[in-house]
Structure 1
Amino acid sequence: MLNLDFGFLNWDIIQNFILKGLFFSIQLTLVAMVGGIVIGTLLALMRLSGKQWLVLPAAAYVNTMRSVPLVMVILWFFLLIPGGFYSAIAGTWGANHRAELSAVITFTLFEAAYYSEIMRAGIQSVPKGQVYAGYAVGMSYRQTMQLVVLPQAFRNMLPVLLTQTIILFQDTSLVYAIGAYDLLKGFDLTAKNLNRPVESYLIAAVVYFIICFSLSMLVKRLQKKIAIIR
């Protein structure tokens, strides 16, 4: 009979193992979200530019990233890129935290492909009359996109962007494959050090559920508010 004991869960364990991993998971999610949206928006604009020398490389990048498993990309960046690269861009910290830095780069570039498709749909959801109106008052293509189209596209796609970010947070657990210290790694170390594997992984599942479910409820409320504004 399974005998569960959660008495090991005290503040010292939470602070030394779990919070450290949670902080990195949140940090990785936020950095990858911001970087992914920025790069993804540029990719979306390239694909919608109508210029083949911009459309083709952007489409190839997005389709490639969306066609391979994330864990494979994580291993590519960690194993194939020389350690000197991480030292060059982040000094001693990069050399000592190669797994964490590799995870940040990987997630940013990988998620950019998904954010790109979301932003492309958002841009296309803006009525073309808005674009023509911008041209009519003398705006350039860049000004029309920056001042007219993109603000509306972000508003239209905000719930979808945040939903993708929730998925991104869940996917951060995959950095366990390269030894990065994320939330799952914190629970794993707790399990190994205290010999409580079943309890540790059950609590990990509960924590992931609480965070993701709470964020999903916030996204639903935001979606309703945006629908009212429309």
Structure 2
Amino acid sequence: MSLDWSFYSWDLIQKYILNGFLFSIELTVIATIGGIFFGTVLALMRLSGKPYLEIPASIYVNTMRSIPLVMVILWFFLLVPFIVGKPIGAELSAKITFIAFEAAFFCEIMRSGIQSIPKGQIYAGQALGMTYSQNMYLVVLPQAFRNMIPVLLTQTIILFQDTSLVYAIGAYDMLKGFEIAGKNFGRPIEAYLAAAFIYFLICFSLSQLVRRLQQKVAIIR
């Protein structure tokens, strides 16, 4: 069985793939920004030394990291309508779910980055009269973010790959676009091969970028 190369055309991309690709990128960006923000909050809670903050954050992070993402996506999509009384849509459900799920993983990255900063700098900030918040905002987090840039970008690449899981709730991502095109044209093999190639091309290119960035960060250190 030979491949039908005429399947690959700009018309195919424009009609079926482009909207899905844009949603995959949008979901990746939103989940990354939201995940880093809430992950930082969770990391600070876990490092606060206060049980009423540390324990809930630890339970949340460990629970999320122990459940497959596709299960979280399905649970949220199916259960939330019963709670709020109406469906919220596959796309919005996917965005909320990804932010909630990725926050747990970004939390551990942020926590490791914060703990990598020498204690002497924290003590120096305290000696200057800085509060805990000022110390974190002005001294610790800027250095931690610089050290964690390669790891954060690597997690973002993984996140982009995971966006394909939204097929479970019918959201129109890039993989869904290829799937529909393959069914409509009767060429599922060509469609999935193209999807695999594009995912590989994007992720491999970004991985090489992260590798170069990691080398530059190492030089700065």
Sort the TM-score into its range (normalised by shorter chain).
over 0.9
> Is the alpha carbon distance of 1:209 and 1:62 closer, same or farther for their aligned partners in structure 2, counting shifts above 3 Å?
same
CA distance, structure 1, for counterparts of residue 17 and residue 170 of structure 2: 15
- Report the aligned-residue RMSD: 1.3
Which deviations, in whole Å up to 9, do the C-alpha atoms of 1:59-87 show, x marking residues without a partner? 00000000010000000110000178497
The equivalent of 2:158 in structure 1 is: 167
User: Quick one: which of 178, 187, 195 aligns to 2:178?
Assistant: 187
Deviations 1:91-125 (A, max 9, x none): xxx85xx0010000000000000000000000000
Rounded to whole Å, the distance in 2 between the matches of 1:156 and 1:86 is: 44
| 1:102 maps to amino acid | S
Q: Is the CA contact (8 Å cut-off) linking 1:32 and 1:108 kept in structure 2?
A: yes
* Aligned residue runs from structure 1 range 1-230, under 5 A: 2-82=1-81, 85=84, 95=88, 98-230=89-221
CA distance in structure 1 between the aligned counterparts of 2:105 and 2:160, rounded to whole angstroms: 14
- C-alpha contact (below 8 Å) 1:86/1:101 kept by paired residues: no
Cα offsets for 1:155-207 (capped at 9, x unmatched): 11110010000000000000001000001000001101111100010010000
Partner SS, residue 6 of structure 2: coil
Distance between the aligned counterparts of 1:6 and 1:50, measured in 2? 61
Aligned AA for 1:124?
A: Q
Q: Distance in 2 between matches of 1:188 and 1:79?
A: 23
**Structure 2 residues without counterparts, runs of 5 or longer:** none
Is the CA contact 1:37–1:112 (under 8 Å) kept in the aligned structure 2?
A: yes
The aligned counterpart of 1:90 is: none
Which secondary structure does the structure 2 equivalent of 1:122 belong to? Answer: helix
Q: Distance in 2 between matches of 1:83 and 1:229?
A: 52
- Deviation sequence 1:136-166 (CA, Å, 0-9, x none): 1111000000000000111111100100000
The AA in structure 2 aligned to 1:13 is: L
The alignment covers a number of residue pairs equal to 221
